[in-house]
Amino acid sequence: MMSALLPGLIGQADAAGVDEPIKPVSRHQEQDPARVELGRRLFHDVRLSVNDSTSCASCHHLDQGGADTRPFSVGFDGQRTEVNAPTVFNAGLNFRQFWDGRADSLEAQVDEVVRSPVEMGSTWAGILAKLAAEDHYRRAFEAAYVDGLTAANVQNAIASFERTLTTPDSRFDRFLEGDASALTVEEKAGYQKFKQYGCVACHQGVNIGGNMFQKFGVMEDYFKGQQRGRRADEGRFAVTGDEGDRHVFKVPSLRNVELTAPYFHDASAATLEEAVDVMFRYQLGRVASDGDKALIVRFLKTLTARPSEAPL
């Protein structure tokens, strides 16, 4: 049945062009190995939380797409977070961190999470005291940083590790690099549909998103009829206070999107198919056939790849 949807698309989808709006992820890493190893240990260390219960890995499962399979993560004392945890994979390719873009670096993101009264509830003084009590941490920081163990260096070590969690060599990246056989005919057609319907206007670049802000509900009010006053739904408005930023969010990356359900800041879409439906209605204001949407989903699944530093 799917093949009946493809006339007119097969020829133009045989190979990627040189000016494609999506670019492959680089295979090259430029992080200091000693700092990366420190960051890896800290990423999994529950002592970053005030009661030694929660680590970065508690909400960013490196064996499950780098995200949290729960709609909302649970912090150190059992409280739920307000938004769905985005994947940590390829986060270093984003121009801002968090759904509302309030952090301009991975280091700033680490700082906020550690001090969050919901997530880890810690202070840097408390964390540094814990780490300083461990000889292996003291020696590792002295070897990796001129000024040794500091809050800034803890943040940088974790961020250095996270920057290695890129996912090069997806089948779609191999297609972009000239391997026409990397995708099936249906997957190539799905990419053409992705571009033709306009999805690529927001989801482009190396991270297929993560490089701009956009209102959630461009063509129709996504929040109509929903409970009002939730800070998490205000998006950039909660950061800037500018009414034009209400319901504006960082466009998420689509890399590894098949692994990161549920979707959106509010975890409202349980499946990739549901998420595509929401995008067509609220962002594009267009009606697509079930066949076209199925092709797009097939294309999106070609964006899955193993991270450089952690197995899926």
Which residues are known to be catalytic?
119
Closest CA relative to residue 72, chosen from 62, 86, 51, 53: 86
CB-based contact 295:190 (threshold 8 Å): yes
The answer to whether the peptide bond before residue 262 is cis (omega within 30 degrees of 0) is yes
